Chains A and B, each alone.
Chain A
């Protein structure tokens, strides 16, 4: 029998290390679920919505129930941060961003790489961006396109079904109404609704 104290701890699986070359070919992409806007000065701010603030206790909360407002936070990126944020569009690799950063700010590649690496790590830690290899990004995009196509097809099918129903209702209307004006009108209304629904 083994004592529980001497049980070996299972080692946590470590992510396989990647080479610098592989790292430079990764593509950073902004989190599509994030809300972000831009100041007139060009600086980007990210809007984070947290849990609602707890309502204030006492009379104030009873008088003003809206006091429990949602907590929003703005994270403002500086000019260089905003410049990099714009480049995290899923089209540029880290290598491309280094090149652009070093060209615009008169840096050597190494000088641009070190702060960029730290900055991207920081953004990724907070979940503002994801960093994917090119192939994975292409796969993800193809999947998204397929999903969107599927949705479009479903919409089309629904539309066709609606049209078929319209026709049916039209036929029924003509059969029931036997040439009366009101019946036809109702049938038209239904068909309009049917067309709007999908």
Chain B
């Protein structure tokens, strides 16, 4: 079994290479996601921020989980539960079986560093346990709910990049042929936006007359919507080499504030990756004050250095 690194919202672990994110939602504070093998759900992951003072006993939380699960499926039987360790934290494990030959192995723990309670469940058929066991072991062994490293991994389908921990996912959308993510730093001094469009060749030959037209008609209005105050009247697209590909680049800036105006510098890069037949658009925003000495945001630097289209 081959494995690949998986990361989302500060949680990192290894999963088999043919498993992928099927659904995700929420924020860093509370959210959930599901990872599927091509046909069947395999991992359910939930996290929620809880203050240490309000932290309940594990057994109490486990009972709540059991109640919730039994509401959905009355035939559920909890077989075993006990103590375990994951990522240096004390955890509780539980195992259940339903009447329709489905089994689950779950782990529940509290991460003091990120103040999140995390529940991970591995799902498998009763006859699949030995097939799934290596994947469970690998995920549990490699699980990181907090890390001292100053980089968080984000992976979805075949897209992967790193950000500094102060960047949060603010907005995302998954449309028929398009993925969109918007990240901004907690201090709101920097942000970036990623767009990925599939069927690039077909789109640019049949619907739009090249990448420039796509940028003008599709991406530019979205840029204006995302960065209010941005005026792109005088700015012109420039041809640029982005990695190994030829693409387009646009630089613009706008100021906000009366007494201490902040200069927002926006850089958009758009290119077509023929290897994957996709259009990529990456926009970064840096907020600089006149008196500030920092020239380039380190978080943005990390993101740009880790991002690649193929």
Q: Which residues of A contact B (CB under 8 A)?
A: 20-21, 24, 78-80, 105-111, 114-115, 118
List 13 A-B pairs, Cβ < 8 Å: A78-B202, A78-B206, A79-B206, A105-B199, A105-B202, A105-B277, A106-B276, A106-B278, A108-B157, A109-B38, A110-B21, A111-B198, A115-B176
Residues in A with CB closer than 8 Å to B40 are: 21
Q: How far apart are the CA atoms of A115 and B198 in the complex, in Å?
A: 10
Asked whether, in the complex, the Cβ of A114 is within 8 Å of the Cβ of B277, the reply is no
B39 within 8 A of A: yes
Top 4 nearest A-B pairs (CB, nearest first) are A115-B176, A106-B277, A108-B157, A21-B39
Besides A78-B202, A106-B278, A118-B176, 6 more A-B contacts (Cβ < 8 Å) are: A21-B40, A105-B202, A105-B277, A106-B276, A110-B21, A111-B198
Least Cβ–Cβ distance between B225 and chain A, in angstroms = 23
B92 part of interface (Cβ distance < 8 Å): no
Minimum Cβ distance to chain A for residue B6 (Å) = 14
Question: A110's contact among B20, B177, B199, B275, by CB below 8 Å, is which?
Answer: B20
Interface residues of A, dominant DSSP? helix
Question: Out of A24, A105, A109, A118, which one reaches B198, CB within 8 Å?
Answer: A105
Query: Contacts of B158 on A, CB cut-off 8 Å?
Result: 108
Shortest CB distance B217–A (Å): 17
**Contact at B275–A106, with CB atoms within 8 Å?**
yes
Q: Is the CB of A108 within 8 A of B206?
A: no
B232 at the interface (CB under 8 A from A): no
CB proximity of A29 to chain B, nearest CB, Å: 23
Identify the interface centre among B174, B176, B278: most chain A CB within 10 Å of its CB. B176
Determine the chain A residues whose CB is within 8 A of the CB of B174 once the complex forms: 114
Chain A residues in 8 Å Cβ range of B38: 109
Tell me the residues in window 265-286 of chain B with beta carbons closer than 8 Å to chain A beta carbons.
275-278
Instruction: Bin chain B's interface residue count.
Output: 10 to 19
Q: Complex Cα distance A108/B159, Å?
A: 11
Residue picked from A78, A106, A108, most chain B C-beta under 10 Å:
A106
Interface string of B36-58 (1 = CB under 8 A from A): 00111000000000000000000
B245 to chain A, nearest CB (A): 15
Inter-chain contacts of A107 with B (CB < 8 A): 198, 277
Residues of A within 8 A of B202 (CB): 78-80, 105
Chain B residues near A105: list those with CB within 8 A.
198-199, 202, 277
Q: How far is the CA of A78 from the CA of B157 in the complex (A)?
A: 26
A78 CA to B199 CA in the complex, in Å? 11
> Does B223 touch A at the CB level, under 8 Å?
no
Contact yes or no, B277 A108, CB < 8 A: no
Q: Which residues on A sit within 8 Å (CB–CB) of B176? A: 114-115, 118
* Contact partners of B206 in chain A: CB under 8 A: 78-79
In the complex, which of the residues B174, B177, B275 has the most CB atoms of chain A within 10 Å of its own CB atom? Answer: B177
Chain B residue nearest in CB terms to A104: B277
Q: Max chain B CB contacts within 10 Å: which of A24, A109, A111, A115?
A: A111
Determine if A80 and B199 form an interchain contact, defined as CB atoms under 8 angstroms apart: yes
B275 touches A111 (CB 8 A): no
Does B22 touch A at the CB level, under 8 Å?
A: yes
Tell whether A110 pairs with B157 under 8 Å between CB atoms, given A80-B199, A115-B176.
yes
The closest CB in chain A to the CB of B310 belongs to A106
- List chain A residues, Cβ under 8 A from B199: 80, 105
Query: What residues of B have a CB within 8 angstroms of the CB of A80 in the complex?
Result: 199, 202
- Expressed in whole angstroms, the minimum distance between the Cβ of B215 and any Cβ of chain A is 21
B22 contacts which chain A residues (CB < 8 A)?
Answer: 110
Residue numbers in B under 8 Å from A78 (CB-CB)? 202, 206
Cβ contact within 8 Å between A24 and B39: yes
CB distance from B162 to the nearest CB of A (A): 20
Complex: how many Å from CA A131 to CA B278? 30
Measured CA separation A24–B37 after assembly (Å)? 14
Closest to A41 in B: B206
Among A20, A105, A115, find the residue whose CB has the most chain B CB atoms closer than 10 A. Answer: A105
**A80 CA to B177 CA in the complex, in Å?**
12
Bound Cα distance from A107 to B40, whole angstroms: 20
CB of B266, distance to nearest CB on chain A (Å): 28
Question: CA A107 – CA B39 in complex, angstroms?
Answer: 17
- From residue A13, how far is it (CB to closest CB) to chain B in Å? 23
Tell me the complex Cα distance, A78–B174, Å. Answer: 22
CA distance A106 to B199 in the complex (A): 9
Can you name the residue of chain A whose Cβ is closest to the Cβ of B277? Answer: A106
Contacts of B278 in A (CB 8 A): 106
Q: Which residues of B contact A110 (CB under 8 A)?
A: 20-22, 157
Q: In whole angstroms, how far apart are the Cα atoms of A126 and B276 in the complex?
A: 32
